[in-house]
Amino acid sequence: MNNRAIHLPHDDQDCGWYAALPAPAAPRRLTGRQQVDYAVIGAGFAGLAAARQLAEHVPDARIVLVDAQRVGYGASGRNSGFVIDLPHKMALEHPDPAHKQRLLGLNRSAIAQLQRLIGEHRIDCQWSHAGKYQGAVGARGLAYLEHFEHLMRELGEPFHSVEGDELANVLGTRHYRRAVYTPGSYLMQPAALVRGLADSLPGNVELLEESPIQGLQRDAQGQWLLQGRDGQIRTPRLLLGTSIFTQEFGYLRSRLLPVMTFASWTRPLTQAEMDAIGMQADWGLTPADHAGTTVRMTQDRRLMIRNTYKHVPRYGKSVSDSTRQEIRAGHRKALISRYPQLANVEFTHTWGGVYAISRNFTNFFGELEDGVYATACDNGVGAAWGTISGTLLADLAVGADSQSLSDIRNVTGMPSRNPPEPLLGLGVRTRIRLAAWNSRSEL
């Protein structure tokens, strides 16, 4: 197999999570010809977990983990900082209770794994068992919230309805009519967590950053050749933790949809500002209406607003600076509607992150062809799903069976095929605009 030119990540330079970290050490890049036992492409949650698990299974193997950017700069370092245990959105509505229980078990296994690694390696990433609020502003949001409560009862999971003073004393605003609190989610600083996981990789994993793979083919001996700008990796076994970019290597083409969502945050609020508003630190709220606004208050007292979705067929290159400014203005409106007292507090960063969704909301996990394994299409649940699917992908690659491996095979499948362009782009853009219009009261 020989690919055409591979389109590489093109993320903006304004991610607040990444900017808040100290400057990293100089990267090690791919040079020369490297023969390895396993190669993993993509150093996000999935790739990091896969490389770590491979190293534990085969400690004498030479394993290379390669990324086009710096660790924490891509999608895994750009999310809202939730690690969610519950099945997500459409998955929560799945008609088979066993399917949802498998997802719940996989997500909680990922959380336990992350908590163990954070403790063992003393990763400073604002890790917190804070739970999660799901909030409603108007009648549309309240209807979604009631449906969510119904689904939680069916699942047998605990939740707590919060409103009035109890809710306002946490959020510092009466903008929300009601929220449902679920206790199983964790909060974190995603760029810090990803970097910490990379810094603590086992000794037989070599991390190569700023080393985009620009070509992939199989040689006459059946080995895979990963071609970089200044070097080449040759390996019999390849694991892809590349999310939407999996299609750039020739796999799952016309089955993944690249979507970008955007966030902005403020400088750290002063304690006086926090006291004046009556807000607690360290909480997160997602919208009951999925197209609404996510709000995070970090441990270091930054308020983050996330909403707005774009179809980005050229990834970051699909979004202009003027579009980012329009999005930032929309975030500003959402902030002031909730916190008019902060009218003089500006945003310091606005950024986007690309993830993959599928039309049938199905995640892919498994062997693509002999010696090539992938987990792709997280459908917007990156941290927990990436961690557990990457771990189990390594198990699959070395032939280590488990109940968890059986579970993930049962809940994954083949993303459905997309219609051809220009129908695809027109349909996705229309659906996003319609969702934004219908959900405008929740923004």
- Residue by residue, pLDDT tens for the chain (443 residues) are 445 568 999 999 999 999 999 999 999 999 999 999 999 999 999 999 999 999 999 999 999 999 999 999 999 999 999 999 999 878 999 999 999 999 999 999 999 999 999 999 999 999 999 999 999 999 999 999 999 999 999 999 999 999 999 999 999 999 999 999 999 999 999 999 999 999 999 999 999 999 999 999 999 999 999 999 999 999 999 999 999 999 999 999 999 999 999 999 999 999 999 999 999 999 999 999 988 999 999 999 999 999 999 999 999 999 999 999 999 999 999 999 999 999 999 999 999 999 998 989 899 999 999 999 999 987 667 899 999 999 999 999 999 999 999 999 999 999 999 887 877 878 878 877 877 787 788 87
Residue in this structure with the two tokens 């409106």, named with its chain if needed: 333
Using N-to-C axis directions, what is the helix angle for 97-121 and 382-398, rounded to 10°?
A: 90
- The Cα 150–Cα 170 span in angstroms is 24
Q: How many CB atoms lie within 10 A of CB 416?
A: 12
Domains and CATH numbers, the chain: 1-126+186-443 (3.50.50.60)
pTM for this one?
0.96
CA angle 188, 113, 84 (to 5 degrees): 45
DSSP-derived pairing of the beta strands 32-35 and 231-235: parallel
- The Cα 183–Cα 394 span in angstroms is 30
Strand ranges, E, within 122-244: 132-136, 160-163, 178-182, 186-187, 205-208, 215-218, 224-227, 231-235, 238-240
What strands, in cross-sheet order, belong to the sheet with 32-35? 32-35, 231-235, 224-227, 215-218
